[in-house]
């Protein structure tokens, strides 16, 4: 019998890309399976990120019988408005309900149609469980971040339910307290909590995860073995480590291709790459401190710089850099460095010249760096990135620190401190050490991640287990509703 999954990714471009890669892998591995990906309207115009709208248009044009993309129309919120994820999702519920109803009606009238056996949704779309329940279809989570943060969130939510979670949003960044988290080997500093947990904004979403039948996690069992030991204790739905889900296809225009050609001319492992994601932006003061650190370090560099755009969460590519960076910076560094706007991150990390990556610690970026065996220096900016930095530096030894504690959250609008050139330079020098233990660990983990995606590898085994478990839903779903 044919069966189908309905994917509901979050509107963020990085979440959407990961979900699409997951869907492609599933239909490739199971010939009886088809997937409909429901693409929700972006929260901001353009989707926040280079090529977001074009990417969605390309998906719509590539629909086929087994992998379809259903675009939900709607107006994005204006960039000057404070985004309300919960309201945005509530507004999409009737549209998703209608899209699924049309799909169900079609399958009831067409012979040999698949049976819808599951909704697979992003954490920020968990309110869509209500829609799935109306159709009596089970829900699953596709978690685009790591198992460690998923486990931390479920632990914090349990503490909150039991009245044992007394973290204050206004005071947590000055706290010296630590949490004993079962999924971590080391105590976790309260001051390193992501803002969404400290403010408790994420807890209602995390609470609903209990209603799901399982978690697909974009990670590798060998990378986060301790976290998966916690997630397999029976207190949470089963977790399937199916990553890394990476979009390794490179589409570069003329300008980035010149960058790649320049990298081809540099010695192996000689260039430090600085890139901070589609929403990473810096004040002019912070940009100057980074420039001073790069100048003093003496290392070759490729720096993707986006400056803060007033009253918006969207980055702007830098212009008139001579006016904000130190005097004669470009003269002193022209033979060994480049400052650019948008960077083709995957293509850059794949180059042998890259010896280190200064990153905002977005999970996709962390997975890409490990895949290519490039050690990272952690510079978290928002969301769960403070946890990612802690896990990679303290728990796993796969990254170096620039400093111990990062204040503020870019998306929450809480104040961030300027990181001084001395700290940045020290982090870069540590990152670029050729024979460091971190570099050796990253190289070893890279091999394990590649092996996990081969037949018989841990991620392929987990994916097959998920497919087998989903097939058990065929007898329990009722397409006539």
Residues of the domain holding 369: 254-444
Residues 6+ apart with CB under 8 A from 378: 359, 361, 388, 389, 392, 393, 399, 400, 401, 402
Cα–Cα distance, 471 to 214 (Å, whole number): 13
* pLDDT of 180: 96
Residues 300 and 185 in one domain: no
Report how far apart, in Å, the C-alpha atoms of 99 and of each of 70, 131, 132 are: 8, 11, 12
CA quadruple 402, 403, 409, 415: dihedral, nearest 10? -120
- Asked if the structure places residue 355 within a domain, the reply is yes
| Local confidence pLDDT in tens for the 481 residues of the chain | 899 999 999 877 889 999 999 999 999 999 999 999 999 987 765 444 556 788 888 998 999 999 999 999 875 444 545 667 788 899 999 999 999 999 999 999 999 999 999 999 999 999 999 999 999 999 999 999 999 999 999 999 999 999 999 999 999 999 999 999 999 999 999 999 999 999 999 999 999 999 999 999 999 999 999 999 999 988 899 999 999 999 887 544 545 689 999 999 999 999 999 999 878 889 999 999 999 999 999 999 999 998 665 444 444 555 678 889 999 999 999 999 999 988 999 999 999 999 999 999 999 999 999 999 999 999 999 999 999 999 999 999 999 999 999 999 988 889 889 999 999 999 999 999 999 999 999 999 999 999 999 999 999 999 999 999 999 988 666 555 4
- Asked if the structure places residue 242 within a domain, the reply is yes
- Asked if the structure places residue 15 within a domain, the reply is yes
SS3 for 238?
A: coil
Number of Cβ within 10 Å of residue 331's Cβ equals 8
Strand partners, 35: 5, 67
Residues 403 and 468 in one domain: no
Look-up of token digits 């209602």: 204
Residues 45 and 97 in one domain: yes
Residues 212 and 290 in one domain: no
Cα–Cα distance, 95 to 73 (Å, whole number): 9
Could you tell me how many residues make up the chain? 481
* pLDDT of 476: 66
Residues 218 and 184 in one domain: yes
φ/ψ bin of 252: left (φ > 0), alpha (ψ from -120 to 50), beta (otherwise): beta
- Asked if the structure places residue 79 within a domain, the reply is yes
Residues 230 and 347 in one domain: no
**Residue 166: in which H helix or E strand, if any?**
none
Rg (CA), the chain: 22
Q: What count of Cα atoms within 13 Å lies in the side-chain half-sphere of residue 370?
A: 30
Residues 387 and 363 in one domain: yes
Residues 435 and 467 in one domain: no
- Asked if the structure places residue 210 within a domain, the reply is yes
DSSP 403-439: -S----BTTTTB--PPPPHHHHHHHHHHHT-TT-HHH
**Residue 425 DSSP code:** H
Closest CA to 140 of 31, 21, 23, 246: 23
Look-up of token digits 């990120």: 49
* pLDDT of 257: 84
Instruction: Report the domain count for the chain.
Output: 2
SS3 for 294?
A: helix
Q: In sequence order, what E strands does 144-262 have?
A: 178-179, 188-189, 215-217, 239-241
* pLDDT of 125: 95
- Asked if the structure places residue 481 within a domain, the reply is no
Calculate helix-pair angle for 437-452, 458-471, nearest 10 degrees.
Answer: 40
Residues 20 and 158 in one domain: yes
Q: What is the CATH number of the domain that holds 286?
A: 3.40.50.2000
Closest CA to 223 of 430, 451, 21, 24: 451
Residues 359 and 394 in one domain: yes
- Asked if the structure places residue 375 within a domain, the reply is yes
Report residue 425 as tokens.
């330079």
CB 260 within 8 A of CB 348: yes
Look-up of token digits 């819808």: 116
Backbone φ and ψ of 247, nearest 5°: -100, 95
Q: What count of Cα atoms within 13 Å lies in the side-chain half-sphere of residue 169?
A: 10
Q: Return the ∠ at Cα 371 (arms to 382 and 463), rounded to 5°.
A: 90
Strand partners, 37: 7, 69
Residues 295 and 228 in one domain: no
For the stretch 64-67, contacts whose Cβ atoms lie closer than 8 Å and that sit 24 or more positions apart, written own/partner, are: 65/34, 66/27, 66/33, 66/34, 66/35, 67/23, 67/24, 67/27, 67/34, 67/35, 67/37
- Asked if the structure places residue 174 within a domain, the reply is yes
Residues 408 and 289 in one domain: yes
* pLDDT of 314: 42
* pLDDT of 256: 61
Q: Could you tell me whether strands 306-307 and 139-143 are parallel, antiparallel, or unpaired per DSSP bridges? A: unpaired
φ/ψ bin of 269: left (φ > 0), alpha (ψ from -120 to 50), beta (otherwise): left
């Amino acid at each position: 019998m044919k069966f189908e999954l309905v994917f509901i990714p979050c509107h963020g471009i990085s979440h959407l890309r990961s979900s699409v890669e997951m869907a492609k892998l599933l239909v490739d591995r199971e010939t009886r399976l088809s997937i409909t990906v429901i693409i929700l309207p972006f929260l901001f115009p353009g989707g926040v990120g280079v090529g977001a709208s074009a990417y969605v248009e390309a998906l719509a044009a590539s629909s086929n019988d087994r992998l379809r993309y259903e675009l939900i129309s709607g107006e994005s919120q204006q960039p000057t408005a404070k985004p309300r994820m919960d309201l945005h999702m509530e507004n999409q519920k009737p549209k998703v309900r209608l899209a699924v109803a049309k799909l169900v009606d079609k399958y009831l009238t067409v012979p040999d149609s698949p049976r819808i056996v599951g909704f697979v949704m992003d954490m920020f779309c968990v309110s869509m469980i209500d829609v799935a329940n109306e159709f009596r279809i089970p829900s699953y989570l596709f978690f685009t971040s790591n198992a460690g943060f998923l486990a931390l969130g479920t632990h914090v939510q349990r503490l909150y339910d039991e009245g044992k979670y007394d973290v204050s949003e206004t005071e947590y960044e000055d706290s010296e307290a630590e949490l004993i988290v079962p999924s971590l080997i080391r105590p976790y500093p309260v001051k390193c909590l992501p803002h969404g947990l400290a403010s408790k904004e994420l807890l209602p979403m995390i609470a609903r995860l209990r209603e799901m039948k399982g978690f697909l996690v974009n990670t590798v069992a060998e990378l986060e073995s301790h976290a998966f030991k916690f997630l397999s204790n029976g207190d949470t739905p089963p977790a399937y480590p199916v990553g890394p889900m990476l979009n390794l296809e490179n589409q570069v225009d003329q300008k980035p291709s010149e960058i790649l050609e320049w990298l081809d001319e540099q010695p192996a492992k000689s260039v430090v790459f600085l890139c901070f994601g589609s929403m990473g932006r810096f004040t002019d003061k912070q940009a100057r401190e980074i420039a001073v650190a790069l100048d003093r370090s003496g290392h070759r560099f490729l720096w993707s710089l986006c400056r803060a755009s007033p009253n918006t969460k969207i980055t702007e590519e830098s212009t008139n850099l001579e006016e904000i960076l130190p005097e004669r910076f470009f003269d002193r560094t022209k033979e060994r460095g480049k400052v650019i706007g948008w960077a083709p991150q995957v293509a850059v990390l794949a180059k042998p010249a890259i010896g280190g990556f200064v990153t905002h610690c977005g999970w996709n970026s962390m997975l890409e760096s490990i895949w290519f065996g490039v050690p990272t220096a952690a510079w978290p900016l928002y969301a769960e990135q403070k946890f990612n930095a802690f896990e990679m530096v303290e728990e796993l030894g796969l990254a170096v620190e620039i400093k111990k504690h990062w204040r503020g959250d870019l998306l929450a609008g809480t104040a961030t401190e300027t990181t001084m050139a001395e700290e940045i330079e020290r982090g870069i020098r540590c990152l670029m050490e050729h024979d460091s233990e971190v570099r050796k660990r990253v190289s070893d983990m890279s091999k394990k991640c590649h092996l996990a995606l081969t037949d018989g590898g841990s991620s392929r085994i987990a994916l097959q287990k998920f497919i087998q478990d989903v097939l058990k839903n065929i007898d329990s779903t009722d397409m006539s509703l």
